[in-house]
Structure 1
Amino acid sequence: MGAHFGHGADHHAATPPGGRALRLGIGGPVGSGKTALTAALCRVLRDELALAVVTNDIYTTEDADFLRREAVLSDDRITAVRTGACPHTAIRDDISANLDAVEALEQRHPGLDLVIVESGGDNLTALFSRGLADRQIFVLDVAGGDDVPRKGGLGVAAADLLVINKTDLAPLVGSDLELMASDAARVRDGKPVALTSLREAPGAPEVAAWVRRVVAGSREHAPA
C-alpha cells in the first residue's frame, strides 16, 4: 500500500540555522521498525545526500551496531547515545547528549546534508524537541492494533510525517489498514501519513521521497 498524503500539508522543512545539516528525528514504540526504516533511508539516499546517524538506546549501542553491520554508512558516520533513562528524556527534556553527538558528526564531516536522530523505543507521547530535530517522523506498526492512530498522542498527532509500518502483517493480525489511514488523517489534521512495508518495498520509497522534499526545501530557503 502506498502513501496517503494530506493535500494541505507543508512538506518543506524549516531552514536549519546557519545553513547546517537538516536534523530529522525518527521516533516510535519499541519494535515499530525505526531502525529498519533508518537503514532503508540510508541505503536509498547515501549516494545523493551526505548523511550521518545518531541512535539512542537506554543501556546498549545495539541499534548503531546493527546499522554498522548492515554497512548502511561508513562506521564514522554512525554514533550511539546511551540515554540511561526513558528515551523521551534524551530527545525532548535533556537533549544535550544528542546535540553533542550531532555536532560532533557535523564537525567530523563538514557539508552534511542530513543527520538522522533515531530515538529509542517509546510511547505515543514521545516527541522530539525542536531544539534537536528540525523535522520528525513517528513510526507505528500495524501489529500494535488498528485503534492506535485514533488514540492520538503527541507522536501520532504532531510529527511531520506519520509512518504506519509493516502493512504486510495486517491480514495476519487482523488490522484494518483503511481504518488506520482514515483515523490517522482525522487526528493529524492534514499532515502526511505513509503506509509502508519494508518487506514488500525495502527502499521505503514514499518516505524517502518525503525526506528528499524536506531536504530540498531546506536548501531552497537556506541563507545565501
Structure 2
Amino acid sequence: MGHHHNFSWSYRKFKGDRPMRIGIGGPVGSGKTALVRALSEVLRDKYKIGVITNDIYTKEDEQILKKSGVLPSHHIIGVETGGCPHTAIREDVSMNFEAVEELTEAIPDLHLIFIESGGDNLAAAFSPELADVFLYIIDVAQGDDIPRKGGPGIKQSDVLIVNKVDLAPHVRVNLNTMKEDCRKQRENKLTVFTNVLSGEGVTEIAEWLAKEYQGRREEAKR
C-alpha cells in the first residue's frame, strides 16, 4: 500500500458540553474489547458510558460486549467498517460520527464514549477530530521489541497499555526491557503494564480517565 501518514496527535478542545470520546487502538488480540469491558465495569457506577466497536467484516466485538452485560445493550453500537480498519477511525470517520450521534441522542447525559478500533498493525491512530483521548494497547506475547519499533500508538497515545504481563515468563519476554523502551519512546506519557483479565492495572487507567474528564470539564467552566 505504501501510504505514508503524517500523523501528529493533538487534542480538540473538549468543552465538557458533550461526552468525552476515548479512542482505543491496538493489534488484533491485544485485549481491546477486554479493556473496554473492564474499564466500563470500573467506571459505570460514576459515569454514563457508551461504546462504539469497529470491526472490519463482523459485529463480533459488539456482540461480545452486549453478552457480557457490562452495560445496557442500547449503550453499545457496532460499526462494520469493511476494508482497511484504520480508515474508519482516521481518514473517513463519518460512520463513527453517526454512531456517536446515535448514542448521544439515545442516552441523555452521556459522559464517556469508548471507540474501539478494528484490530490493526502498529500504524493505527485516531483522528483528533474523532477521539479526545487515545489509548493504545499491545501485549507482551507480541514480543518485547514492539515498543522499540515505535509508531504513532506507541509514541503518541495518551496512555500506552502493555497487556498480558502474566505471559512474560512463558514467551521469554523481559518486562524491564519493555519498561525501559517505553520510557524512551514516550518521554513523560503514561504507560501501564496490565493483566486486563485479572484486573491488574485497570484501576490506574480508569482513574486517569476520570481525572482527565473532570479536569477538562472544570477547564470548560472557566
TM-score scaled by length of structure 1:
0.91
* Alpha-carbon offset, residue 208 of structure 1: 1.1
RMSD: 1.5
* Alpha-carbon offset, residue 125 of structure 1: 1.2
Q: Which residue of 1 aligns with 2:64?
A: 66
Identity, % of aligned pairs?
49
Asked whether the equivalents of residues 57 and 81 of structure 1 are also in contact (C-alpha less than 8 Å), the reply is yes
Q: Which residue of 2 aligns with 1:32?
A: 30
Letter in 1 for 2:157: A
Q: Which residue of 2 aligns with 1:104?
A: 102
Letter in 2 for 1:99: F
* Alpha-carbon offset, residue 103 of structure 1: 1.2
Distance in 2 between the 1:140 and 1:113 partners?
26
Asked whether the equivalents of residues 22 and 218 of structure 1 are also in contact (C-alpha less than 8 Å), the reply is no
Distance in 1 between the 2:51 and 2:39 partners?
11
Q: How does 1:59-138 map to 2 (within 5 A)?
A: 59-138=57-136
* Between 41-50 and 14-23, the greater mean CA deviation after superposition: 14-23
TM-score scaled by length of structure 2:
0.92
Change (3 A) 1:204 1:198: same
Letter in 1 for 2:93: I
What secondary structure is seen at the aligned counterpart in 1 of 2:220?
A: coil
Letter in 2 for 1:33: G
Quick check: 1:193 aligned with 2:197?
no
Distance in 2 between the 1:189 and 1:17 partners?
27
Q: Which residue of 2 aligns with 1:217?
A: 215
Distance in 1 between the 2:60 and 2:68 partners?
12
What secondary structure is seen at the aligned counterpart in 2 of 1:84?
A: coil
Count the aligned residue pairs: 212
Moved segments of 4+, more than 3 Å: none
* Alpha-carbon offset, residue 109 of structure 1: 1.0
Letter in 2 for 1:86: C
Asked whether the equivalents of residues 154 and 160 of structure 2 are also in contact (C-alpha less than 8 Å), the reply is yes
Q: Which residue of 2 aligns with 1:151?
A: 149
Of 34, 50, 55, the match for 1:52: 50
**Runs of 5+ consecutive residues of structure 1 not aligned to the other structure:** 1-12
Distance in 1 between the 2:84 and 2:216 partners?
31
* Alpha-carbon offset, residue 216 of structure 1: 1.2
Bigger relative contact order (CA 8 A; separation at least 6)? 1
* Alpha-carbon offset, residue 201 of structure 1: 2.3
Q: Which digits, 9 at most, give the CA deviation of each residue in 1:116-140, with x for residues without a partner?
A: 0000101111100011000110000
* Between 61-70 and 107-116, the greater mean CA deviation after superposition: 107-116
